[in-house]
C-alpha cells in the first residue's frame, strides 16, 4: 500500500511539473496574444493543448502559420510528436487574472505610472461584472526603498472554500529601469460565488477615475 501511495504521489508531481513547464512555455510564446491559461487533454492518438487567449488571430497567425510554428516547437522541444494546439478565445478577458496582470505589466513598461495603470484596470474589471478585484504592486514605487501598494474595489473573499472556488489569481513581474516589480491580480467572479453569499458595501472604497492610459499615451506622443 505504501509503495502504491508513493507511486501515485510521484505521478501527480510529475504531471504537475510537466503542466507547469508547458504553461510557462505557452505564456512566453503567446504573450502578445493575451495568454489566459492552458488545458492539456491526452488521448491514445496524441496530446491536445487547449490554449486560451484574448486575441486568437495573433496566436493562429496568417494562414495558420503561427499555430504551425508553435506546434513544431512543441514537438521538437518537448517530444510531443502528435501534438495538436487548439486556440480558444477568452470571452471576457477583463475577468481573467492572468491576462489583466500581463496587461498591467505591458502598460507600465511603456511608461505609464503604476497607480494609473492599476486603477484603470480595476475600473475595467469591475465594469466587466466582477464581484471584486484587488491589485497588489511591489517594488520601488515612490522612493529608493521597495514597498507595496494595493488597489481594491468590491468584495474579494480572502480564505476558505469560497475564495478557492470564486477567486481568479495571477502574478507576474516586469523589469523597469529602477528594478524588478511584482504584480498580483485577484478577481472575485460573481458566477462562482455561492448563492447565499452576502455582499457588503465597502465604505472605505474610494472612487477610481482614470482614463485609458493607452489612449493617453497616444495623445501625449502625438503632441510631441
Q: Quote the pTM value.
A: 0.78
CATH 3.30.300.20 region(s) of the chain?
8-89
Q: CB atoms < 10 A from the CB of 217, how many? A: 14
Non-local CB neighbours of 178 within 8 Å, separated by 6+ positions: 139, 140
Kindly indicate whether the domain formed by 93-188 is annotated with CATH number 3.10.105.10: no
CB 170 within 8 A of CB 184: yes
Non-local CB neighbours of 52 within 8 Å, separated by 6+ positions: 35, 36, 37, 38, 39, 88, 89, 90, 96
Q: Which three cell numbers stand for residue 219?
A: 495623445
| pLDDT of the residue at 95 | 96
State how far the alpha carbon of 220 is from the alpha carbons of 109, 155, 215, in Å. 16, 35, 9
Tens digits of residue pLDDT in 85-125 = 999 999 999 999 999 999 999 999 999 988 999 999 999 99
Q: Which three cell numbers stand for residue 28?
A: 512566453
Kindly indicate whether the domain formed by 8-89 is annotated with CATH number 3.30.300.20: yes
CB 130 within 8 A of CB 188: yes
CB 51 within 8 A of CB 41: no
Q: In this model, does residue 4 exceed pLDDT 90?
A: no
Amino acid at each position: 500500500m505504501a509503495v502504491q501511495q508513493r507511486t501515485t504521489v510521484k505521478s501527480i508531481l510529475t504531471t504537475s511539473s510537466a503542466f507547469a513547464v508547458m504553461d510557462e512555455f505557452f505564456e512566453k510564446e503567446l504573450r502578445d496574444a493575451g495568454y489566459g491559461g492552458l488545458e492539456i487533454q491526452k488521448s491514445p492518438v496524441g496530446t491536445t493543448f487547449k490554449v486560451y487567449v484574448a486575441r486568437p488571430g495573433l496566436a493562429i497567425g496568417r494562414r495558420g502559420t503561427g499555430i504551425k510554428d508553435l506546434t513544431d516547437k512543441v514537438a521538437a522541444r518537448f517530444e510531443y510528436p502528435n501534438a495538436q494546439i487548439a486556440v480558444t478565445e477568452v470571452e471576457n478577458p477583463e475577468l481573467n487574472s492572468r491576462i489583466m496582470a500581463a496587461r498591467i505589466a505591458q502598460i507600465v513598461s511603456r511608461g505609464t505610472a503604476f497607480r494609473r495603470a492599476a486603477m484603470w484596470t480595476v475600473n475595467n474589471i469591475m465594469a466587466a461584472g466582477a464581484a471584486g478585484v484587488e491589485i497588489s504592486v511591489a517594488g520601488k514605487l515612490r522612493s529608493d526603498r521597495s514597498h507595496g501598494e494595493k488597489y481594491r474595489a468590491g468584495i474579494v473573499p480572502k480564505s476558505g472554500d469560497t475564495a478557492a472556488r470564486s477567486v481568479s489569481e495571477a502574478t507576474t513581474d516586469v523589469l523597469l529601469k529602477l528594478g524588478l516589480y511584482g504584480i498580483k491580480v485577484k478577481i472575485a467572479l460573481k458566477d462562482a460565488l455561492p448563492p447565499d453569499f452576502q455582499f457588503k458595501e465597502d465604505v472605505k472604497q474610494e472612487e477610481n477615475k482614470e482614463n485609458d492610459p493607452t489612449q493617453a499615451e497616444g495623445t501625449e506622443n502625438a503632441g510631441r
